[in-house]
Each structure stands twice: as structure tokens, then as C-alpha cells.
Amino acid sequence: MQSFRSEIENPVVEKDIIDLEKKISLYREGKIDETRFRSLRLARGIYGQRQFGVQMIRIKLPFGKISGEQLHRICEVSDKYSEGRLHITTRQDIQIHYVSLDKTPELWAELEKDDITLREACGNTVRNITASETAGIDIDEPFDVSPYAQATFEFFLRNPICQELGRKFKISFSATEEDTAQSFMHDLGFIAKIKNGKNGFKVMLGGGLGSQALLATVLFEFLPADKIIPLIEAVLRVFDRNGERTKRARARLKFLLKEIGLEAFGQLVEDEKKALSNTTFKIDTSKFKGTITIPDIPIPSVNIEDETQYKLWKKTNVIPQKQKGFYAIGIKVHLGNFYTDKAHLLADLIKKYANNELRLTLRQNILIRHVKEGLVPFFYIELKKLGFTDIGYNGISDITSCPGTDTCNLGIASSTGISRELETMLKNEFPQLLENKKITIKISGCMNSCGQHSMASIGFQGMTVKSGQLVAPALQVLLGGGVLGNGAGRIADKIIKIPSKRGPQALRAILIDFQSYAKVGETFLNYYIQQGELYFYNLLKPLADISNLQESDFIDWGRETPYEMAIGVGESARVNVDLVATLLLDSEEKVENSLETLKLNQFSDSIYYAYTSLVNTAKALLLTKDINTNTQVGIIKLFEDELGDKIKLESPFSELVYQIKNNEPTKEFATKYLNDAKLFNKKANDFRTKTMADEN
């Protein structure tokens, strides 16, 4: 099982994978509790499925960028360890399902041969950094945001400040004011700007979807590019220390910001400046400025049999690049699912005839970049052979959907089943709308909004409806959401709940009404706002009547048996409830990490490991007294109030801990702070030992 060790060139990665392997063994032996192990595997992209005994593996692909070699590697891994199906997420990741837990270290090691990681793809970490898929080729962009997204990914990967946050943290980079990376729904969103000839970003703070969607607020109208990494680090430090950790539903940054206000939050960020690892961080953009390299081969001649269909495909799926003579081709991937047999051929195609680069998109699609104008007909023919020429890329029929009850523990209703039905209906009944890119349809299997239903023009959320003793799958219909541009967005209104089998009727009624009464050229969003929520409630109200449910209404889309509500435990942002012994062991591990990074002259990392050790140890002792805590700030205060007189320190505990934000990250301070953490841990363990002896 450990044969992969000699094949990994990066010692940090090797250590990470070996550690995962060891922890799996300890978990199997019952030496690590379920809660602690869950946290560890999630931070390594391993997520429990709805189906017992198998895992979903999430591959972290910064801003969706992927080469032909990487796609081949992912396909090989999927074929070997799973079922040959790949799923593109709304965060530009790829997921592989039905993987054995024991095979995950080996799988990860194989991916790393082509510089592909699982690290921090799930869990309470900085998730995949997303960006506009057209970054670097967009005609309207001020500059390419790709290198900034890449630098952010690299800086915070394995960074100790964001390994065990209270909840997940999401960051995006938009190439233009069109804001296609949806900054308004992120913890931190960056929109490219140029001011006085200098690259920078408009910064949006504290957005998020989920059960309580909140729009981000403007933190900076313009922040120079060399300030973004320090800003992100400061925000993460504030969130880590002050964010909720017990009440899962309140543990996102948006709630902390709402609770204390922008001014107070900004002051906390300012207070962190002295402790930051860098006051400025210049980002190297040179790797993204190379010439486009296309193999010098003759352009194959092709025969287009249906010119009308080809022209329609070009109109909806082909995008001119800012690089003269080059085009990008959008592939509409139904439900984000595609298979390795076709993916292998696609990888060969871009290696041989393009610049060997794909971008996975936020709409669960694929964008081929840097295709010579003369090769566009050839690509059409080759993609058609693979079934990759459906028209309507990023259009109304390009429905975004989470996996729902297919594989997710939290799924309530089948989001994929209703997606298929709606897409078929759109093609058959509304062909005149297939070119419409202003209407978005998004579907989530539950309230968590993985399908981003609450920011859609027309959204559906999986629910249930009860009729007597029976339960039927249902859909909450939402209308009027979307991206307004330059950091502004609109959260969709919840209109009405209907049985799931009436979803197509609801969409049909909405679109017929829009086509019948909207002004020429009027967008759906404008029409919705003009008509109002009550208008659409009344339009759909007859579909909400459950007094006349049929037998088929109790069978969900894509299923053959009656609906049964079965919801598992959510994992991706679960708050840990650690036992005292586990916390103390973890504190010792953090001290060891602090020492290792100190030896490598990584002073900021060393200091943060020591800080985490101090807080964990204090939390452990509070738990022995049945004192509950919900933030790190709370832990520090409660320890000082309740146990400060029991463990003698040279200074109050808060002063000891808060040295972290009052000192620059020098070798001298890192050494002192580590020694402080060691001494505190020793005194804490001695105190616990004595307390246990007295109790016995």
C-alpha cells in the first residue's frame, strides 16, 4: 500500500499522503474518533457519500485550469479506483464518486504525478479559488486575473491559519465588471480594476448563499494587487479567531460581519497588520504571459453537413478571444457529468490542435481555449463525434444542478432528475429561447445551495410536502436572482412550494407568461421586478394544491419506487466536537509543527501553530469543567475568567495568547512563542493529571 512513496518528488506532499494513510489505519483500529478523523479526511478532499462504505473524492483545480496531461491522469485514476465518471462542480473542481477509503492515499499519490491535489478541497478550509473561465482571453478584461488566483491558491494551501476554520471560506476572481465569478456571493470576491495605470481589485466581503443568503458588501473600491494576499491573510486570522464554531448555521463569515458590522470588522483586520507574514506580496504574472503555442500541423479539411446547425453552434458556443485569430469553444456538459472515454479523446484533441488548456466553468461546463480560427470547423466535427456540440452554452437550457439525492448525504429531492426533465422540455417547447443567455436556471437538492438556486433567474430547491401520512418530493420555486455586475447581485425571492412532479408545469407557466407579456427586448429579471413576487405567486398557486396528488407524485424524478425522505449528516462544513484527550494530543502535534516550521525559517507559520496549540489546550481544560465555548476569542476570555487562577502564568492568559497580533513574525518572537506554548501545555497537562487524581 505504501509503494507510492518513492514516486512522489515533493517531500511535503509525500508527508501529507503518508499521514493520511497512517490516520486511516488508526481510524480502522479505533484509535482516532470519528469526529476528528472526519475533519482530517475532509481537509484532504475525501467526503462521505450517501451510499455506505464509499467516498466522493474532490479534486482541487485552481480556477478550473487543466492541461491535457492532467485530464488524462484524472481519467486514469477514475478508471482505476471508480467507475469512469467525472463530475464538474460549481467551484470548478472535479469529483469522482464511489471510491474506497483505503485506496485514497494511493489515488492521491497518482494524481500528484501531474501536480494535482486533493488538499483542502472540502472541510473547514479555504476552498478552491474560482475565477472567470474567460480570464486571460476576455476582450473586455483590464488584465488577466489567473496569476492572482494561482498565487492565492499556492499561498494558502497548507497554510496553518486556514486548516481548521469554523466553516469553509470561499474566494473568487472576476475578470471584468460583468462579475462572472460572482463576487457578491463569496467570503472574499475580487474584481479586476486598473487605477492610475496600476493593477488592483474591487474587494467584496462577506457574501454567501446557503439557507440564509446574504450579499457581499464593498470592502475596498480599489486595492492594489500587491495588497490582496496580506488582506486575505488578515481576514482569515480575524475569522479564525472570532468566527462561530459551535452553531453550524451561524459559522460563516457573513454572520460575523453582520453581527459586529463592517467598521468593527475592518478595525480587527487593521489590528492584524503587524503580525502578517507579508505587508505586501508581489505576484509574478510572467508565467501567464507566454505566447500561445499551437502545433504546426496542416489544418484538416472537413465537411459540414448541416450548415444551419453549425452556424447556430458557433453563435451560442464559440467566443472570440482578445488574442487575434483565436477562439474559445464552450462545451455544454449536461449536469456536469462526462465520462473518461470521451475525456481522454478531448485531452488528445487539445494537446494536438490547441494550446493544451481547458478551463472548467462555474456553470459545470468546459471551455477549450486558444483554437485557431481556421480550426473551428474541425473542432466542431471532432466534438460532435464526442457528443459535445449541444447548443446553448451558458444559455437557458444549460441548467446548473448539484448531485442531490444521487450521492449527497443532505439531498432531499432529486435535482438531477428534474434537471433532465426541464432541459428536455426547453428543447422541445421553447427552441426560440435556447440562445437566451440572460435567463439562468439552477437547481439544488436541499437548502444548502450547492446548485446556487438562490442566485438564479429561475431556481428550484429540493423540499418535501406532506399529504396525510404520505410524503412527496417537492420544489421551492425561486425567482429574480442573478448577477448585476461590478459586485452587485440579487438573491432570488422564494415564491411558492409545489410537488416536484409539477416542476415542468411551473417552468412552462413562467416562460409562457414572460414571452406573452414582457416588452420587446426586456430581460426576465426586469420583467420579474416589474410584475412583483405576488404576481408570480398567484400565477403558480394552482400548482401548490396538494388535495389532488396522484400516485406518481409520490415518486421522485428518475426513480421507480415511492419517495422516502432519508437525510444523512452533512460533512463539508461540520463543526467539530472534540474530546479533551483528542484536543490535548492535537495541541502536542501543533507544537511539533511549530518546531518543524521554525527550523525551516517559516516564522509566521510557526507562530500560528503555537497559537492554535494554546487555544486548543485552553478549550480542552474548559471542557473538563463542562464549560462550553463557541469562538476562539470566547475560549481565551473564559479560560482567563474560569481557570486563570488555577494555572500560574507570568502574565494573564489573554496577554500570553494575543502576543500573536502584537509582534512581527521574527525568529526571536517565533522561538519565544513556541516556548510559551510548550510551557503552557505542560502546566495544563499537569493540572489535568492532578485534577483527575483528586476526583478519583
Give the model's confidence band at 523: pLDDT under 50 very low, under 70 low, under 90 confident, else very high: very high
- Between CA 218 and CA 324 the distance in angstroms is 35
In this structure, are residues 183 and 174 in contact, taking their beta carbons and an 8 Å threshold? yes
- Between CA 359 and CA 376 the distance in angstroms is 18
- In percent, the amount of the chain with pLDDT more than 90 equals 78
Domains 3-112 and 580-695 share a fold: no
- In percent, the amount of the chain with pLDDT more than 70 equals 97
- pLDDT at 340 > cutoff 90: yes
Give Cβ neighbours of residue 445 (< 8 Å, ≥ 6 apart): 402, 403, 404, 405, 408, 410, 411, 412, 413, 414, 415, 451, 462
Grid cell at residue 693:
487524581
Domain 3-112: which CATH class?
alpha beta
Lowest mean pLDDT among 128-137, 394-403, 465-474: 465-474
Give the model's confidence band at 593: pLDDT under 50 very low, under 70 low, under 90 confident, else very high: very high
Give the model's confidence band at 521: pLDDT under 50 very low, under 70 low, under 90 confident, else very high: very high
Domain 580-695: which CATH class?
mainly alpha
| Residue 561 Cα distances to 25, 415, 472, 552, 564, angstroms | 39, 17, 12, 10, 9
- What does the pLDDT average to over 413-426? 92
- pLDDT at 533 > cutoff 90: yes
Give the model's confidence band at 3: pLDDT under 50 very low, under 70 low, under 90 confident, else very high: low
- pLDDT at 194 > cutoff 50: yes
- pLDDT at 578 > cutoff 50: no
Q: What element of type H or E holds 595?
A: helix 580-599
Considering the chain, what is the average pLDDT of its residues? 92
First to last CA, the chain: 44
Per-residue pLDDT of 388-412, as tens digits, reads 999 999 999 999 998 887 778 777 8
What is the pLDDT, as a whole number, of residue 577? 36
Grid cell at residue 386:
464526442
- Between CA 56 and CA 40 the distance in angstroms is 15
Domain extents in the chain:
3-112, 130-287, 304-385, 400-554, 580-695
In this structure, are residues 204 and 184 in contact, taking their beta carbons and an 8 Å threshold? yes
- Between CA 232 and CA 221 the distance in angstroms is 16
- What does the pLDDT average to over 220-244? 98
- Between CA 223 and CA 193 the distance in angstroms is 9
Burial of 469 (0-12, 13-18, 19+ CB in 10 A): exposed
Give Cβ neighbours of residue 88 (< 8 Å, ≥ 6 apart): 94, 333, 336, 337, 338, 360, 361, 364, 365, 366
Q: What is the CATH number of domain 304-385?
A: 3.30.70.3340
User: Whose CA is closest to 608, among 235, 120, 276?
Assistant: 276
What is the pLDDT, as a whole number, of residue 296? 81
- Between CA 549 and CA 412 the distance in angstroms is 19
What is the pLDDT, as a whole number, of residue 528? 97
Q: How many CA atoms lie within 13 A of 111 on its CB side?
A: 30
- pLDDT at 359 > cutoff 70: yes
* Chain CA centroid to CA 434, Å: 28
Q: What is the residue-wise DSSP string for 234-291? A: HHHHHHHHHS-SS-GGG-SHHHHHHHH-HHHHHHHHHHTGGG-S-S--PPP-GGG-PP
- Between CA 657 and CA 479 the distance in angstroms is 48
What homologous superfamily is domain 130-287 in, according to CATH? Sulfite Reductase Hemoprotein, domain 1 (3.30.413.10)
Residue type at position 201: F
- pLDDT at 159 > cutoff 70: yes
- What does the pLDDT average to over 121-129? 96
- pLDDT at 574 > cutoff 50: no
Give Cβ neighbours of residue 472 (< 8 Å, ≥ 6 apart): 464, 465, 466, 499, 500, 501, 546, 549, 553, 554, 563
- pLDDT at 566 > cutoff 80: no
- Between CA 134 and CA 366 the distance in angstroms is 11
Specify the DSSP class assigned to residue 663: S
- What does the pLDDT average to over 67-86? 97
In this structure, are residues 189 and 183 in contact, taking their beta carbons and an 8 Å threshold? yes
- Between CA 484 and CA 423 the distance in angstroms is 25
Measured at the CA of 278, the angle between CA 600 and CA 287, to 5 degrees, comes to: 85
206 backbone dihedrals φ, ψ, rounded to 5°:
80, 30
- pLDDT at 209 > cutoff 80: yes
Q: Which of 3.40.190.10, 3.40.80.10, 3.40.47.10, 3.30.413.10 is the CATH number of 400-554?
A: 3.30.413.10
Widest CA span of the chain, in angstroms?
88
Give the model's confidence band at 567: pLDDT under 50 very low, under 70 low, under 90 confident, else very high: low
What is the pLDDT, as a whole number, of residue 575? 34
Residue type at position 293: T
In this structure, are residues 655 and 641 in contact, taking their beta carbons and an 8 Å threshold? no
User: Whose CA is closest to 251, among 267, 240, 264, 265?
Assistant: 240
- What does the pLDDT average to over 434-448? 91
- Between CA 368 and CA 431 the distance in angstroms is 25
- What does the pLDDT average to over 9-13? 88
The better pLDDT of the pair 582, 55 is held by: 55
- What does the pLDDT average to over 51-72? 95
What is the pLDDT, as a whole number, of residue 691? 79
What is the pLDDT, as a whole number, of residue 1? 44
How crowded is residue 294: how many other Cβ atoms within 10 Å of its Cβ?
A: 16
User: Whose CA is closest to 450, among 87, 159, 118?
Assistant: 87
The better pLDDT of the pair 510, 411 is held by: 510
- pLDDT at 108 > cutoff 60: yes
Give the model's confidence band at 114: pLDDT under 50 very low, under 70 low, under 90 confident, else very high: very high
What is the pLDDT, as a whole number, of residue 572? 45
Give the model's confidence band at 570: pLDDT under 50 very low, under 70 low, under 90 confident, else very high: low
- What does the pLDDT average to over 333-357? 96
In this structure, are residues 573 and 248 in contact, taking their beta carbons and an 8 Å threshold? yes
Give Cβ neighbours of residue 672 (< 8 Å, ≥ 6 apart): none
Give the model's confidence band at 345: pLDDT under 50 very low, under 70 low, under 90 confident, else very high: very high
Q: What is the residue-wise DSSP string for 497-563? A: EEEGGGHHHHHHHHHHHHHHHSPTT--HHHHHHHH-HHHHHHHHGGGG--TT--GGGGS-TT-SS--
pTM of the model: 0.93
59 backbone dihedrals φ, ψ, rounded to 5°:
-95, 125
The better pLDDT of the pair 8, 171 is held by: 171
Lowest mean pLDDT among 438-442, 486-490, 526-530, 566-570: 566-570
